Amino acid sequence: MGKSQTLGVFRNPKPSNLEPWDSPPTLYGFKGGDLLGVAERLDYLQELGITAIYFNPIFQSAANHRYHTHDYYRVDPILGGNEAFRELLDAAHTHGIRVVLDGVFNHASRGFYPFHHTLENGAASPYLDWFYFDKERLRAGKRLDVPHEIEDDAFWQEFRRVVKAANPEAYIVGEIWGDAHRWLQGGQFDAAMNYVFNRACLGFFGGEHLDTTQRPGGFKLRPLSAIQFARAIDSLLALYDWQVTLVQLNLLGSHDTPRFLTLVQGCASKQNVL
């Protein structure tokens, strides 16, 4: 029995009404996968050469995407809860695999207690100054995305201080779709999600097959020649300090974009753009 199969945590009973695993995904459905399921596959992931796992939000939420966080201190019970996450962390570290969590601290939903409190009590709520309210949309609530929408450098500097005090080796990466200079000066994030690199790769490897009607993150896509691609990469290499460039999260796609093959309309061969 492999190391990833010797799990000590009792798996939480699964709720009913789960979707079949192989059925197409839906807006509100849950498949039933959990964190211990990942832990049980760590041997396989290690064989693939994987050294880090990036999770979308795992904290308690009423949404299957879990961006509508209810409790930042509690891993969603459907995923196995805090105990299962601890088990996964320990097993992953034993395999030399690091874990990156999606911290959606600037998102709020009706299930988040301080926000719900303000909805119920209005101006009398002691949590009123936690939020900026659009009075016309107050009944719906509202969530924000990506860290640049928290216009407070001091907040992110304090965030870094607290995180690094808890774990000096922690990797803080921000979801920034363009130039991330402001957040990569040494006092906030270690790196950014490198969508600039992503768009350059799409333009070159997609070439004439690139679907330019799509605008991931609101950015236009355009085909790039080999020379244009080289210039884009050279510009990117000169954009940040070298220490920052070495730790950027260089990605070909993410949960916020169509799949790479979708954007290049199924063209997987580099020779098609040379």
Q: Which is nearest to 84 in space by CA: 72, 94, 71, 74?
A: 74
Q: What is the pLDDT of residue 120?
A: 87
Contact 143, 110 (CB under 8 A): no
Q: What is the pLDDT of residue 75?
A: 95
pTM given for the model: 0.73
Q: Report the alpha-carbon distance of residue 223 to residue 211 in Å, rounded.
A: 9
Q: What is the pLDDT of residue 144?
A: 30
Residues 6+ apart with CB under 8 A from 256: 175, 216, 217
Strands 59-61 and 69-75: antiparallel
pLDDT (tens digit per residue) in 163-194:
999 999 999 999 999 999 999 999 999 999 99
Q: Report the alpha-carbon distance of residue 85 to residue 12 in Å, rounded.
A: 12
Q: Which of the residues are catalytic?
A: 145, 175
- Give the amino acid at 47: E
- Give the amino acid at 137: R
Q: What is the pLDDT of residue 149?
A: 72
pLDDT values of the chain reduced to their tens digit, one per residue, 274 residues: 344 344 555 566 778 899 999 999 899 999 999 999 999 999 999 999 999 999 999 999 999 999 889 999 999 999 999 999 999 999 999 999 999 999 887 777 888 989 889 888 888 999 988 887 766 555 547 233 457 777 789 989 998 999 999 999 999 999 999 999 999 999 999 999 999 999 999 999 999 899 999 999 899 999 999 999 999 999 999 999 999 999 999 999 998 899 999 999 987 665 444 4
Structure token pair of residue 16:
């009913």
List C-alpha distances in Å: 15 to 69, 78, 80, 146, 269. Answer: 19, 8, 11, 32, 44
Where are the extended beta strands (E) located within the chain? 52-55, 59-61, 69-75, 98-101, 173-174, 191-192
Q: What is the pLDDT of residue 18?
A: 92
Q: What is the pLDDT of residue 268?
A: 65
Q: Which is nearest to 186 in space by CA: 246, 241, 106?
A: 241
Work out the angle between the directed axes of helices 195-206 and 226-237 (0-180°, nearest 10). Answer: 170
pLDDT (tens digit per residue) in 244-269:
999 999 999 998 899 999 999 987 66
Domains of the chain: 3-194+242-251 (3.20.20.80)
